[in-house]
């Protein structure tokens, strides 16, 4: 490479640096609400990230197409790719922070945790839908963080309740053995103290099978342990490639699938790749699957069929896609409430925080949203940022998930003390954690 080479190189570098120096153009225009979506369509967790990203985006896009946005203000949607990487997530946060975002949906517990203390300072609410910090369900300690409709602790208590129903009463769990296979990270570890408490109270034995993120696709030793210990039930808290591998391994060792129960993250693809043996696999869910809902039909008609979405047509209505839709519905409701509370069209993060606290999805409201039968009513208040609603169990029948249980309510008496003490612990460890000063709105 001679002198000219260097010159090109220098030009290239200069170009890149110049490009970097120019500030990002502001996206927020007149009368629009800026909703940044933190997505991960790349990286090792993209299997879970892509359908969620599609669902979230498509619902908001549908509102833009059908209603011209929310309350007469367009929704400015901007995706920021995090790759499930905390570093990139924080970079995304800094990039959107100055553009008046109405809220942040981090979609990663690792990104949620650093944002929790920042939310109050920057006046941007964080909506970590059924993930993140379970303790943030307490609005009095965490006025800026929301995690409806369930925490991971709720989830575990519902799984235990379900197992109890299957066995004919919680007292029948005595002397049984339960296995817990989980991603060895904050997300999977959070339920353990509660699980241990249950084991003590109900008299069952708990076996732990941690899976390191690096060994998600290499679980034969964990499942060998399952063969040795022969747990009566297996509970799974997995994410990304952990889920399909675990289901395959369970099939391989002939574990009775009907007794293999997961938290709400496995998708259709996760079960499908294990073949017929995966029939009977169960997971919790709180919303409908499939396309037989007016809201999904609208998305299909106005977004997917028009080619405005990145989703493959047959993937609309899958579990994680619909979960994305549900998430965006909460965003939209919060914006709508904020508009009502303030009378403004373009709202700020502060307004939307109030909007989130006044979310009240009554059956009538759900019908208006085209979500009748899609999900249960949900009501958030200033002190309850979660709802702790009921979920149901769904079973994989070889082609799709079907509902196999009635509503499963969380065991509030077990969850509540844990949430309280965790929140207290959090506030104590973060010396100077601010007391709630935000005033409480009456639901409108």
Nearer to other proteins, 199 or 359 (CB): 199
- What is the rounded CA–CA span in Å between residue 159 and residue 408? 8
Helices (H), 151-281: 152-167, 186-189, 192-202, 220-229, 242-252, 268-272
**Smallest gap from residue 322 Cβ to other proteins (A):** 17
Regarding 217 and contact with other proteins (CB under 8 A), the answer is yes
Q: Which helix (H) or strand (E) holds 394?
A: strand 392-396
Which bin fits 288, alpha (ψ -120 to 50), beta or left (φ > 0)?
A: beta
Nearer to other proteins, 16 or 443 (CB): 16
Quote the DSSP letter at residue 302.
I
Asked if 408 contacts 422 with a C-beta cutoff of 8 angstroms, the reply is no
Nearer to other proteins, 184 or 441 (CB): 184
Binding other proteins (rule: CB under 8 A), the pick from 140, 165, 205, 215 is: 215
- What is the rounded CA–CA span in Å between residue 106 and residue 307? 26
Which two structure tokens, joined as six digits, stand for 202? 């109900």
Asked if 271 contacts 298 with a C-beta cutoff of 8 angstroms, the reply is no
- Binding residues among 171-200 for other proteins as defined by CB under 8 A: 184-187, 189-190, 193
- In this structure, the number of other CB atoms found within 10 A of the CB of residue 367 comes to 13
**Smallest gap from residue 33 Cβ to other proteins (A):** 18
Spatial CA neighbour of 59 closest among 317, 291, 328, 297: 328
Binding other proteins (rule: CB under 8 A), the pick from 220, 362, 412, 444 is: 220
- What is the rounded CA–CA span in Å between residue 73 and residue 75? 7
Binding other proteins (rule: CB under 8 A), the pick from 28, 66, 80, 383 is: 80
Regarding 417 and contact with other proteins (CB under 8 A), the answer is no
Binding other proteins (rule: CB under 8 A), the pick from 107, 146, 204, 209 is: 209
**Smallest gap from residue 335 Cβ to other proteins (A):** 21
**Smallest gap from residue 212 Cβ to other proteins (A):** 4
**Smallest gap from residue 111 Cβ to other proteins (A):** 10
Binding other proteins (rule: CB under 8 A), the pick from 33, 34, 44, 415 is: 44
Longest dimension (CA), the chain: 81
Regarding 280 and contact with other proteins (CB under 8 A), the answer is no
**Smallest gap from residue 113 Cβ to other proteins (A):** 4
- What is the rounded CA–CA span in Å between residue 348 and residue 335? 9
Window 12-41: contact mask with other proteins (x via CB under 8 A) = -x--xx-xx-xxxx-------------x-x
Regarding 398 and contact with other proteins (CB under 8 A), the answer is no
């Amino acid at each position: 490479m001679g002198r000219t080479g260097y010159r090109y190189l220098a030009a290239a570098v200069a170009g890149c640096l110049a490009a970097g120096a120019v500030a990002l153009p502001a996206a927020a225009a007149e009368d629009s609400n800026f909703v940044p979506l933190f997505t991960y369509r790349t990286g090792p967790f993209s299997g879970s990230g892509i359908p969620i990203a599609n669902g979230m985006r498509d619902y908001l896009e549908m509102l833009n197409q059908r209603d011209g946005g929310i309350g007469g203000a367009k929704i400015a949607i901007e995706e920021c790719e995090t790759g499930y990487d905390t570093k990139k997530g924080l970079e995304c946060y800094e990039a959107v922070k100055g553009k008046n975002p109405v809220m942040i949906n981090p979609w990663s517990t690792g990104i949620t945790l650093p944002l929790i203390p920042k939310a109050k300072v920057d006046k941007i609410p964080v909506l970590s839908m059924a993930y993140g910090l379970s303790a943030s369900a307490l609005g009095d300690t965490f006025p800026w963080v929301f995690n409806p409709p369930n925490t991971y602790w709720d989830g575990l208590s519902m799984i235990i309740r379900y197992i109890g129903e299957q066995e004919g009463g919680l007292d029948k769990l005595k002397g049984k053995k339960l296995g817990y296979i989980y991603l060895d990270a904050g997300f999977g570890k959070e339920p353990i103290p509660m699980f241990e408490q249950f084991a003590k109270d109900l008299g069952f034995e708990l076996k732990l099978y941690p899976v390191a993120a690096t060994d998600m696709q290499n679980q034969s030793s964990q499942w060998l342990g399952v063969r040795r210990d022969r747990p009566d039930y297996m509970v799974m808290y997995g994410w990304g490639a952990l889920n399909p591998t675990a289901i395959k391994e369970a099939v391989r060792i002939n574990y009775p699938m009907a007794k293999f129960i997961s938290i709400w993250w496995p998708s259709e693809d996760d079960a499908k790749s294990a073949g017929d043996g995966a029939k009977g696999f169960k997971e919790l869910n709180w919303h409908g699957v499939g396309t037989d809902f007016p809201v999904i039909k609208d998305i299909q008609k106005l977004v997917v069929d028009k080619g405005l979405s990145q989703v493959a047509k047959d993937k609309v209505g899958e579990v994680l896609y619909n979960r994305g839709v549900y998430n965006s519905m909460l965003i939209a409701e919060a914006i709508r409430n904020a508009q009502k509370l303030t009378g403004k069209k373009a709202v700020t993060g502060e307004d939307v925080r109030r909007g989130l606290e006044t979310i009240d999805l009554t059956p009538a409201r759900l019908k208006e949203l085209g979500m009748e039968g899609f999900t249960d009513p949900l009501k958030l208040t200033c002190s309850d940022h979660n709802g702790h609603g009921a979920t149901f169990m769904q079973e994989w029948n070889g082609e799709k998930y079907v509902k196999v249980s009635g509503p499963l309510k969380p065991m509030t008496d077990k969850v509540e003390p844990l949430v309280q003490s965790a929140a207290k612990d959090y506030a104590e460890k973060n010396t100077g954690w601010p007391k709630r000063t935000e005033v409480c709105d009456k639901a409108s």
